Amino acid sequence: MALSIPFRKTDAPALKLKLGEARWASPLLFLLLWELGSRTGVIPARTLAAPSVVLETLWSMIVSGELPSNLVVSLGRVAAGLSIGVVVGTILALVSGLSRLGETAVDPLLQIKRTIPSLALTPLFIVWFGIGETPKITLIAVATTFPIYLNLFSAVRTVDARLVEAARSFGLNGLSLIAHVILPGALPGFLSGLRYASGVALLILVVAEQINAQAGLGYLINNARDFMRTDVIVVCLLVYAALGLAADQAVRTLEGRALAWRPSFLKS
């Protein structure tokens, strides 16, 4: 006879709370061991600054305005590059996804681009655009174009044909059909691509800001490397991580609101 353990729905919130608290155990233990290793000399300061020192440096950089001013520059580069990538990727996906002729003309070029790592284009962009802001933004734009294109192209091609036929029977065609049926149906794929592209943009930013940057998080990291300031390097890495989490959460929030109509087997 199998032994069954009764589970009440009222136990779910308490269980979620316990699991949420448990998730913080390993990061806290890691920080404690890191701090202990730094204080006992196991981890030399020149190798890696202690968490307490990193926090002090973070606070001083915020108070002095050094971190906020450089963060604004980095955010501007990401916003510009990602915006260009989203616009170009969306246009190419619609051209390729809405017609066989467009697919024949566009898709092979995008697939060729996919096989070339975006970072491998850095030397070429420096030759073409110099070492100013243009190559940094262009790298981000090129890297984020394909995630948008691939996800939106696939979403457009998988829109339910019955919905399209029903819309045509009601007199919708051309731009009205695209605006009221195809684009809403492809929205989940576009948002998935945007979520991926936002992460790619931040990854490329880390490398792009190594190109003779005069401001930004990469500029701070380069200066800290020259003076062996591991505390500043860790602060900038933490900011990069926070930006990635914030970007992902922002897209997830947008996805939750824009796709509230979509049924899901996961219920809160």
Map out the domains of the chain as residue ranges. Answer: 51-258
d(CA 216, CA 214): 7
pLDDT of residue 12: 55
pLDDT of residue 11: 55
pLDDT of residue 125: 86
Q: CB of 91 within 8 A of CB of 148?
A: no
Q: CB of 98 within 8 A of CB of 182?
A: yes
pTM, two decimal places: 0.78
Fold (CATH) for 51-258 = MetI-like fold (1.10.3720)
d(CA 217, CA 214): 10
d(CA 192, CA 153): 12
Average pLDDT over residues 201-227: 84
pLDDT confidence tier of residue 113, bands split at 50, 70 and 90: confident
Residue 254 has pLDDT above 80, yes or no: yes
d(CA 205, CA 38): 30
pLDDT of residue 90: 92
